[in-house]
Amino acid sequence: MRDLVEILRIWRRRGGWMAAGIAISLVAVASGLLLMALAGRVTASAVVAGVIATPILLRVSGVLRVVTRYFERLVTHEATFRSLADLRVWFFEGVAERAAGGLGYRSSGDVLTRVVNDVESLDGLYSRIIVPLAGAILILPVLAIVLAFRNGALAAGVAVLFAVAAFVLPGIAARSTAAAGDRLATSLSSLRVSVLDALTGLREVRVFGAEGRMLAAMQAREAALLSAQRDVARQARIAQAVAFLCAQGAILAVLLAAGAPPAAAVAAAFLTIAGFEAVGGLPRAGALAGYAAAGARRVRATATAPLVSPDPPTPVALPRDTTLRFEGVRFRWQPDRAPVLDGLTMEVPPGSRVAILGPSGSGKSTLAALALRLAEPEEGRILLGGVDIATLQARALRSRIALLSQQTHLFDDSIRANLLLARPDADEPALWAALDAAQLGDVVRGLPEKLDTWLGEGGFRFSGGQGRRLALARVLLSPALIVILDEPCAGLDIDTEQAFLSTLNDLGRGRTFILIAHRLVGVERLDRIWRISGGHAVAATA
């Protein structure tokens, strides 16, 4: 329950909507009870007297129940939708803060499951559990007091049966489905990961004739999901059946204890029926609470994971100087692995063009991650303008240093929206200036919709070279004074690579450009070249 309580804390800002929904629900429950009690009394009187007279109070309670039920649905659904939206935003902010360099060891399918299915598993926490529980708390004393006027023992017996159906059974169902709820959430995530993996690699699956194996793997995960769903459904059915028996037992007890006057006896029976009907969904909701608790736990585990590089309590102001210096940096990605960097020292002067070369696994890309505080060194310091970047706010640091990597993502949106990601307040002349600097302006001007051209998923409407230039334009639009280009030509043919690197030569001075690559193609204009070997940096030219 601790995880569910934490989710409710996130929903505190929607407390007004939730309180309004509960209040309207209680009015609806009260009007429903009154309506049924009056209906029973009127029906019994009509049978005895042979005349049906509709009291004004019966009409009023009937209309009130209809109106309040409508507004209850309206307000509680609005509260739920707003709360789930807040939860998704909170989740995304948590993931973005903890995975600025990418998902790392998390599967994209698993993260997608957490933000979609696990969050949606909480949609009934308020409307199906909290609101009905508030109604049950109101109904229990009403039933007990009304029935006590007729028979104290009857009132106690019905109250016990009602408490079992409304409170005990949902609690037992929640505890009994906790393990199944965990398996349900895990199985659903596993199935989604399997399906996304197969769809992403569909070409390779077809080439190697692995359709049968991939399908078998998905079917195995689907079977595990169905098994978990059956376990949850079985517990829900059992709880629902016992609650139904409690309701029938209470109604039977009221009927057996019926006495004079008959109108009051029938009114008591109708009231009992209405009371149990109002909480009839709680046992099933209790069974689903185990799944909701598992979803809450998975959402919180991702969004509140320890920060890789937390901001200092009192950040230092961002320096004007853009000299970037690595001093005795030692770093490894896993504690049981050898260091990628071991005592590396290197300086990049402001406004310079520097290349960092080395084979795969030598630690070139690690330097970019460390400079952006996507990771922290075990030993040594990284200085920006003489200030340790560990004392700077991460957001401020990343406004000074930009990254263009081989995996830079283009969003399924317009060219304009993709550019504005770097600087939301940029005007149209600034957008065209960035495109021209990346030598893509003429291409975009030739498109029918120009800046409003839709790129498609992953920017598939552009060629590899054009997509890389658009990503460069986005970086150039940013206010960053240090631009790190991490294997920006990976996957491009030699001619496109040379053309792209030639573009970098024409970029104006004033920014620092750090090119990370396996090799140079001979068209780069560089001030210095560093080679990474054995965890150290060696200056190849001065």
Structure tokens at 115: 């933000």
Which range is most confident: 75-89, 116-130, 351-365? 75-89
For the chain, the domain total comes to 2
**Residues counted in the chain:** 542
d(CA 514, CA 372) in angstroms, rounded, equals 13
- Do 167 and 55 fall into the same domain? yes
Q: Is 495 in the same domain as 404?
A: yes
Instruction: Answer whether residue 313 is part of any domain.
Output: no
- What was the pLDDT predicted at 105? 45
Helices (H) and strands (E) in the chain, counts: 21, 10
> In this predicted model, what pLDDT tens digit does every residue of 205-222 receive, in sequence order?
787 788 888 888 888 888
- Strands 324-331 and 379-384, by their bridges, are antiparallel
Domain hosting 99: range is: 2-303
Is residue 316 in a domain? no
Strand order in the sheet with 387-388: 341-348, 324-331, 379-384, 387-388
Residues 364 and 284 in one domain: no
- Whether the CB-CB separation of 76 and 21 falls below 8 Å is answered with yes
- Are both 299 and 328 inside the same structural domain? no
SS3 187: helix
Q: What is the pLDDT of residue 164?
A: 92
Is the pLDDT at 441 greater than 70? The verdict is yes
Contacts of 361 (CB under 8 A, 6+ apart): 340
**Same domain for 295 and 337:** no
Rg of the Cα atoms in the chain: 33
The pTM (predicted TM-score) of the whole model is 0.73
Contact 122, 84 (CB under 8 A): yes
Largest CA distance in the chain: 111
Task: Looking at the structure, tell me whether residues 487 and 517 fall in a common domain.
Answer: yes
In a domain, 314, yes or no: no
pLDDT in tens, 221-279: 888 888 888 888 888 888 889 999 999 998 888 888 866 567 677 788 888 888 888 88
pLDDT digits (tens, 9 = 90+) for 164-184: 998 998 888 888 887 777 788
> 178 and 132 in one domain?
yes
351 and 277 both lie in a single domain: no
Q: Are residues 141 and 229 in the same domain?
A: yes
